A and B are shown apart, each in its own frame.
Chain A
Amino acid sequence: MTDTGFREIILIGIDASPGICIGKAYIVDIEGVDVVKKYFISEDDVQDEIKRFKSAVNKAKQQLLTIITNAPEELRDHTYILETHKTLLKDKMLYGKTIETIKNEKVNAEWALKKVVSEVKSMFKNMSDSYLKERATDIVYVSDHIMRNLVGAETKKIADIDKRVILVANDLSPAEASQINLERIKGFVTDRGGKASHTSIISRTLEIPAVMGLGNATNIIKNDDLIIIDGTVGTVIIHPTEETLLDYGVRSSKYEELKAAITRDSHLQAETADGFQLKVMGNIELPEEVVSVIDYGGDGIGLYRTEFQYLSSPILPNEYELFDKYKDVVEVIAPKPVTIRTLDINGDKAFSNNSDYVEVNPALGLRAIRYCLKNPDVFRTQLRAILRAAAFGNVRILIPMISSYEEVLETKRILDEVADALDKEGTLFNRDVELGIMIEVPSAVIIADLLAGEVDFFSLGTNDLIQYSLAIDRGNRHVAHLYHSLHPAIIRMIKNVADVVRDKEIKLFMCGEMAADPINLPILLGLGIDELSMNPQSIPAVKSMIRALKVEDARAFMKDVFKQNTASGVEELIRETYGSILFEKVYARRKAFGDRAQKNYYRKQKGQT
């Protein structure tokens, strides 16, 4: 297979869903849709042509209904988008206008549809609102569906694939992705799409490797080509050489082995060599991700970001929808805790449909708690949902972006109000939840002693704390290299907070990226952080590193850390002192995850980005 004279080609795209798979390519063609022929029909044939169009639409409706009913259990939450597509099928501007065009211009249905769709599309593309602009994609999905029925294109139905293959497509609509049969499809590759697309979320939910946004994969890859996709780093290799195949065969089995091995250990407690237990929790964004946290051995949810429900729909979610999702998460992981962070939305996102409202400086603008206090109705709805979900497990509330004492008091006042209202209504809820705040603004670090008296815990949000303290926008490539979590200023800030916390006898958590990098662990342990929260995949490596450390050593080590003047000095010191453990626990493991991960690790080690 490999010695057919083909040259190995490597394509680089977006790592949409992690994992490695090797297999034969199966091109999902949308034949006949790109090239639509135009022909005129006689007056007598107009009615028949309209009938043909109507039956193509009805067929599409039936097909969507079937897809919705047959969607795998895991995807049930994602089918609402297909419902919207179903309603769009009969929209006057699509359906009515196409029929009109057939009648008035006496053209075939395909051409009429194509004409109408391109008008609607251009209308939407010219809109200023980014949400509405994206609706053009939905219109394309819907009209493509009708078009395929019209031209009778033998679309290779994804549900009918009968061998183990890797799907290659220009784009997969949510409807198509929802038909993926896990027993047949090993992974998929698309020309279009990105990490935040609906299809990519579906692939992560199904845990199949996917690389998206490749541009022209469908032109380069042919049916039955042997391809490798590495969704961990976002590469696709076509016609791999014997050597590459061997290499990836090993990597793939190592990846699986590692996943299994790590998962086995990871369910054990993270206890240091001298008997100190540290909780290692997972960060989640989608309720479905709670499963990964459990699989990777997380001790609970340290950060449940709640923005997705607000951003995925053009409309604010209601109390019932929020409660439903929160309850799911809380129940599944109970009695382990779920730390629900209240809405951390950017003002500009919240107002995305209002073109008059543009934040000049969103990082310093109306966001998170500031937005919530300014829109108390939105805030109350979320707090009601949280308190109600709290009746079903162990819930904590975490308030983002606190920068003053008054914000904490106001939040507590609203929380009490909400609880009183629920009580009066006789609704089932639990008021006995811990309340904490994110420490991610420098002012909160400085007045930590004042804030500590009002809350049960602090959670260090290191990403923002570092950005605000060092005045560095990580997205700006001219200064991104200055962003460093081991900056002496950051370590001193954390120490100040840790001292206050010990004094006031509350708890200290960390939920930023800093918590997920094993190299930082000696310091975090030395400073006395009680709980770390990170992306679920990082939990096993962090737990394993903790087991190799001693709190006593780490505390003593901090004396030397505070003598260092620079971030690179601190890092050098960690590597000198803990290098062998780091290598064994982290580097050796990462090796199995591919070259890019290794390179990143090296770069990180050298303090570059």
Chain B
Amino acid sequence: MPDARRFGLLVQVGAVLLALLSTTLVLLATGAPPLEAFSSIVVGSVGSWGKFSDVLVSWSPLLVVTAGLLITFSAGLWNIGIEGQVTLGAVFTTGALFALQESGWNPALVITLAMLAGMLGGALWAALAGALKTFGGVNEIFGGLGLNFVATGLNLWLIFGLWKRPGVASMSGTVPFDEAFSLPTLPGSRLSLVAVGLAVLSILLVYFLLKGTYFGLRLKAIGKNAKAAYLLGVPTWQYTMLSFMLCGMFAGLAGAMQVTAVYHRLIPSISSGYGFLGLLVAMLVNFHPAWVAPVALFFAALNIGSIQLPVVLKLDSALAGVLQGTLVLFVLMADGVQQKLMRGALRSEDGTAERGESA
């Protein structure tokens, strides 16, 4: 077995190298200097405390979203509707802040309530996808995709309609909230330790939930074989709904962070694509909770590091996505290659065993 593990590691390292190589080829294809591009990403992400604190700002919601996705993945569900759930979290948080900002209550209480509202919003939107799946027979991928578009529409309608800026409504979003209603940030940076703390707490909670409770065990049973789990007495549809809502709760928390810690208002692209990026992170770590935090940090660093590419090298910042995508693609393929080789090895072992018996 140690041999198999070492071999597995070798294949994975090969996959990472292949991803770097192919991204280099993409860079060469556009005539860009690859080394300068990569070093620009490194400098732009960890080159200074300011940059690194930006990485942590983007790490927090990504980590929370991915933590939530581990729950639905455990139950064998592809929660593609996660983007909409993040958006609805932000919408509910904004709504709560609008409702309570004049109340005169303690701002800390208002923020807490607003973030709880965000979690509720995400959970409700996820419950819709879950209900479509369990009661309507609509595959969660297609229901979720549709709900994502509806969430975008709802968000835009609020920004341009109900909550529009006095005067002219615009793509820049709603009126920013008073500073008192933002999560406190470290002096001289946009980093909120509360957001980071909530993110770390989220992944720890999910880790415990999946590894240390019967709930997690049953979810995994449903994920492996829903029919068998049902026959063994696991309340399948209830667990499916619950895993959707728990995931939506975390997605909503990420949306709440986007409003209270990052943008301080509702903007059209409030989810920042963290939902889909979280799906990539979850796939890359093969759904192991222990690896989510470092890989999410790496992905966040790539995103932040590539922001300055257009200015420095006149390259599109989508380079981060190219690297992230090729990385996941090659790791998936390497996994397939490894399984194929191991199946081959097993088969030849079986063959010798059978021959031994018959002799």
Genuine A/B complex: no
